[in-house]
Structure 1
């Protein structure tokens, strides 16, 4: 059941990349469609739950950072307010509730996530580093888009995606986590293709 949740999240992440890629190929330029951000938000919500059930802090950390950036992009695309209020409320409060649950008993949180016998601390730090780098792409995208006052997916976003993804794949191979291996490996092609399209359009 836990793997089903994880695979469903990765399926949504893969679908967002595939759709973005197809739409970019058609437009002959890199585009940032609303569907990319909708699937990102739903996938992040599911992967957040998956990471919690797997006692994997690296996965949870990655979702917490980018979660509200997805919402910002949806709002910029004028799609966020079209989501029913009740669903918006649940989406907005899920990370807050989870954070509150984690910090209410710090010693238990540390035991659960950082003293996991299945994940040596060094490996956890390595995996967390990959997730942080991978998630910083959305911080970069958000800062870049704010400057342009438009939701965009610039070259830096794809370069950071590629770097973080390679680290996460290495982490996933060590953890023998089929969800992360499948999800990250499929994205590598799309990252490279978007980098190529952007470099070609600039030249």
Structure 2
């Protein structure tokens, strides 16, 4: 493996480390509470991981990864606000957090013809595989759109049962995509979360049944 490739994979693995840490932490506090929780640290780690994974996607010329990060990034920020953390962040940091994805998108799209060749005619990623991977990333990222809609309707930052169902479906597709892409970063990251998604579904169902019985 070339030195440049090792450096790129290192960024991706660090991103997945943050994502895995958020899932592990959420899992631990959920097991202790015996109900699905949405701790503030989950969203902080999400933003850190998203930043790095976006960079990784650009370096890997992988549009599926980039698309996934754009769909979920601002939902992470919304949850930070709902958790009361956004107001504690320095204004300069807020500006950077808000504008970085926009600036990155503008940079990538500055030459549309080159962007088209790089991302949609990549010899390493056939079009069918790009579409398949993008579907997985969209489902995986739309779980946060679902979570955001649920949170807006209920005026709180929570991780509802449907979030984990979407996570499980999207993760399954991404793992298959990663196997075809021979991408150890995605395989390791998704495999770790897969177990936690199933466990959260089990805990969520159990808590729901308990609440119904009490009523």
Equivalent of 1:2, from 8, 30, 44?
A: 8
SS of the equivalent of 1:189 reads helix
Q: Give the alignment's TM-score, normalised by structure 2.
A: 0.93
Q: Equivalents in 1 of 2:184, 2:88: separation in Å?
A: 35
How many Å apart are 1:88 and its aligned residue? 2.1
The residue number in structure 2 matching 1:27 is 33
Query: Gapped runs of 5+ residues in structure 2?
Result: 1-6, 210-215
Q: Equivalents in 1 of 2:24, 2:125: separation in Å?
A: 32
Within the alignment, does 1:155 sit opposite 2:161 as a pair? Answer: yes
Q: Give the alignment's TM-score, normalised by structure 1.
A: 0.98
Within the alignment, does 1:16 sit opposite 2:22 as a pair? Answer: yes
The residue number in structure 2 matching 1:48 is 54
How many Å apart are 1:103 and its aligned residue? 2.3
How many Å apart are 1:94 and its aligned residue? 1.1
Larger Rg: 2
Within the alignment, does 1:67 sit opposite 2:73 as a pair? Answer: yes
- Structure 1 runs, 4 residues or longer, greater than 3 Å off: none
Q: Equivalents in 1 of 2:135, 2:177: separation in Å?
A: 10
Equivalent pairs counted in the alignment come to 203
| CA-to-aligned-CA distance 1:147-194 (integer Å, 9 cap, x gap) | 010001001000000000000000000001000000000001000000
Q: Equivalents in 1 of 2:87, 2:15: separation in Å?
A: 23
| CA-to-aligned-CA distance 1:58-106 (integer Å, 9 cap, x gap) | 0000000100000000000011122222222222111101111122211
The residue number in structure 1 matching 2:125 is 119
Query: Gapped runs of 5+ residues in structure 1?
Result: none
Equivalent of 1:136, from 142, 146, 162?
A: 142
Q: Equivalents in 1 of 2:12, 2:117: separation in Å?
A: 23
